[in-house]
Amino acid sequence: MEMEYATILLLLAGVFGLFMAWGIGANDVANAMATSVGSGALTIKKAIIIAAIFEFAGAFLAGGQVTRTIRKGIIDANLLAGTPELLVFGMLASLLAAGTWLLIASHRGWPVSTTHSIVGAIVGFAMVGIGMDAVHWGKVQSIVASWVVSPVIAGSLAFGLFMSVQKLVLGTDKPFENAKRYVPGYIFLVGFIISLVTLLKGLKHLGFHLTSFQAVIFSVLAGIVVMAIGTYFVRKVEIDPEADRDFHFANVEKVFAILMVFTACAMAFAHGSNDVANAIGPVAAIVSIINSGGEISQQSPLPSWVLLLGAVGIVLGLAMLGRKVIATVGKNITELTPSRGFCCELAAATTVVIASATGIPVSTTHTLVGAVLGVGIARGIGALDLAVVRNIFLSWIVTLPVGAFLSVVFFYVLKFIFS
């Protein structure tokens, strides 16, 4: 490995990684916040502040597991043992390609998948730069399968949750009283699920090792604490007889709006933990190759500054360009209220959390759109704007080939400049 370029390549890795993380913030964080903003539970400003805190925490505390899949699960790096610089160029090209496509999509307001973008880009460069054999097609197949499975799981969970809200609250004689009674239970569920994944998966690279039993106990306690905080706010909601004139459930939705704040935090945390890998996985690979003088090792520690880079980039992207995709997902697919938005977010967060725990890089976009569709279907198919749904599906399909194509172009450009 020619070490004369080492510093330049490291700098490029940092810059391109930041650009990719910025794209994730602009496009994907909308998934965590869209339903809260779309249903009126949060203003855009508050959503950005919440996302900044919890995306950062998720990426920094729980972002280690999925990074491994993105870093070395997709291609067989051993084939490049003699030419490690090709892997460096390929990872740089992948970051630049995925980041570029995310910039275009975010500008248009399309919620595309950052996971698709980076996986497509890495596969594209590997096929052209190394050869078809270099791609672990089995791994790619399992990732592709998760793109179908995750919206279905999230949609089913959201459908079930919405039905439970209908049965316990909205369909009863006293919806407001029942909302106050059952919403703390839903808040407990949010606290429990997010704590569980953080303890079981997220904190491993920080050196905390808990048994499953200990993690469950701590998560139950965390759930109770979160529920206590939520209950305090729920109790403060007063009934306003005027509000119910325009919309029968206006007062009930005020109670659910409190719940939405909790689910928005949970979704942002889940998203940070899963999707930061898309930006920092390739950066981590480049750093480990350059620091080891060109050795491609399968195990390399993830430097904290790399996680930090990803976390900062995500927050910047959301603040600068996040609102367009928020409008698409939050307002245009189906009309959302806080109770519907809650079902979407908890279902999506749970699905992402399960995926993070198993190391499968699912697409948060697919998961959330699947959940929103699930709630829409629960209300009847007429509640969905099918034209918007069609455009979203089309943007999903083109993401893989576009990522692959751009990656190949950038790969050859980098190879030309540095060789």
Render pLDDT for 374-389 as a digit per residue (tens, 0 to 9).
Answer: 888 877 676 777 777 7
Q: Is the pLDDT of residue 52 over 90?
A: no
Domain that holds residue 411: 3-159+264-418
| Cα distances (angstroms) measured from residue 350 to each of 121, 176, 198, 203, 396 | 27, 27, 12, 18, 22
State the DSSP string of 166-216. Answer: IIIIITSS-HHHHHHHHHHHHHHHHHHHHHHHHHHTGGGGGT----HHHHH
Residue 18 within any structural domain of the chain: yes
In a domain, 406, yes or no: yes
Give the 3-state secondary structure of residue 246: coil
pLDDT digits (tens, 9 = 90+) for 190-225: 888 777 766 765 555 556 667 778 888 988 998 999
In a domain, 246, yes or no: no
Q: Is residue 309 part of a domain?
A: yes
pLDDT band at 18 (very low <50, low <70, confident <90, very high): very high
> Is residue 222 one of the residues assigned to a domain?
no
What pLDDT score was predicted for residue 409? 94
State how far the Cα of 398 lies from the Cα of 378, in Å rounded to an integer: 29
Whether 301 has a pLDDT exceeding 70, the answer reads: no
Assess if residue 175 is contained within a domain: no
Question: Is residue 1 scored above 60 in pLDDT?
Answer: no
Q: Decide if 195 contacts 222 (C-beta within 8 A).
A: yes
The span from the CA of 208 to the CA of 199, in Å, is 8
Phi/psi of residue 334, nearest 5 degrees: -150, 155
Which amino acid is present at 418? F
Mean pLDDT of the chain: 80
- Asked if the model's pLDDT at residue 155 lies above 80, the reply is yes
Of 379 and 137, the structure prediction assigns the larger pLDDT to 137
Q: Does the pLDDT value for residue 68 go beyond 80?
A: no
Number of domains within the chain: 1
- Contact in structure between 201 and 229 (CB atoms under 8 Å): no
- What's the rounded mean pLDDT across residues 378-406? 80
In a domain, 240, yes or no: no
Q: Using an 8 Å Cβ cutoff, are 369 and 111 in contact?
A: yes
In a domain, 390, yes or no: yes
